């Protein structure tokens, strides 16, 4: 089953998040073509979580910590996120890696999410200079191995991996469908022992380019940024042209 996740980043407080959810629910017709996850800012998690109960939408968070309690000012415990109704967690987003120095500890977040009953959406992707140097796949492979180290395949069942070329995030540029297909195929081969694996594409996904990615057999969904901030565009990404 495909997965479409909207990452609202640091946009929309509680009231605006609820308004967006209401607009989205007005446009959704069950059964949905796949799973749809909304990832509001942390301060809106409980409000949105309450609203999406018993609806086709699922709740996701944009980040979490790897401990469930302690002196970790400003962090979000996985069990707190689960209490809010969170079912998915974006982990290792390029903005977390670049702006907040995340890296070696990402595997601990993946493990903590799984232990809390939360499905990770693990983000991987290369910088522009790494792609131009021919190192796109080695960089992504290193991120995968570092982020999943020590976790047996049976623990990772249902994992989602979002391939997001960093140079395409928020820039209006996108990888070509051929590049996305190649990278998704390499990721799937690397993680072939993981049952239920879903590979998403992210990076300036919009209504006018989503079809080219979603028609690929190797792609199981999308992680959407700016286009998920309006109900009408997010709904278009969900109810796009279906192949066949």
Residue 145, CB-side half-sphere exposure with 13 Å CA sphere: 8
Which of 24-28, 130-134, 173-177 comes out lowest in average pLDDT?
173-177
Give the residue numbers annotated as catalytic, written as ranges.
93, 164
Q: Is the pLDDT of residue 244 over 80?
A: no
Q: What is the mean pLDDT of residues 186-204?
A: 96
Domain ranges of the chain: 3-238
Average pLDDT, the chain: 94
Average pLDDT over residues 27-42: 92
Section 46-65 average pLDDT: 97
In degrees rounded to 5, what are phi and psi of residue 118?
-110, 135
d(CA 111, CA 109): 5
* pTM score, whole prediction: 0.95
Question: CATH topology for 3-238?
Answer: TIM Barrel (3.20.20)
Please report, for the chain, how many H helices and E strands are present, in that order. Answer: 10, 8
Q: Which residue has the higher pLDDT, 117 or 32?
A: 117
- Helix (H) or strand (E) holding 202, with range, is strand 198-202
Query: Above 50 in pLDDT, residue 3?
Result: yes
The answer to whether 146 touches 107, Cβ cutoff 8 Å, is: yes
Q: What is the mean pLDDT of residues 221-228?
A: 96
Tell me what pLDDT residue 150 has. 84
């Amino acid at each position: 089953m495909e997965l479409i996740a909207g990452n609202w980043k640091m946009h929309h407080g509680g009231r605006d998040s609820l308004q967006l959810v209401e607009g989205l629910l007005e446009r959704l017709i069950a059964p949905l073509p796949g799973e749809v996850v909304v990832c509001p800012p942390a301060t809106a998690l409980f409000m949105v979580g309450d609203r999406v109960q018993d609806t086709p939408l699922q709740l996701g968070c944009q980040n979490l910590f790897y401990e469930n309690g302690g002196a970790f000012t400003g962090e979000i415990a996985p069990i707190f996120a689960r209490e809010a109704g969170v079912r998915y967690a974006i982990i290792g987003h390029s903005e977390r890696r670049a702006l907040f120095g995340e890296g070696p500890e990402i595997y601990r977040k993946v493990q903590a999410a799984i232990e809390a009953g939360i499905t990770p959406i693990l983000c991987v992707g290369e910088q522009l200079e790494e792609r131009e140097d021919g190192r796109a796949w080695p960089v992504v492979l290193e991120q995968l191995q570092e982020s999943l180290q020590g976790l047996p395949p049976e623990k990772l069942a249902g994992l989602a991996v979002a391939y997001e070329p960093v140079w395409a995030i928020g820039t209006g540029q996108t990888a070509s469908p051929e590049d996305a297909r190649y990278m998704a195929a390499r990721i799937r081969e690397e993680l072939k022992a993981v049952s239920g694996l879903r590979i998403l594409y992210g990076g300036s996904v919009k209504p006018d380019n989503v079809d080219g990615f979603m028609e690929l057999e190797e792609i199981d969904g999308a992680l959407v940024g700016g286009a998920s901030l309006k109900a009408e565009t997010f709904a278009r990404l969900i109810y796009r042209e279906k192949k066949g």
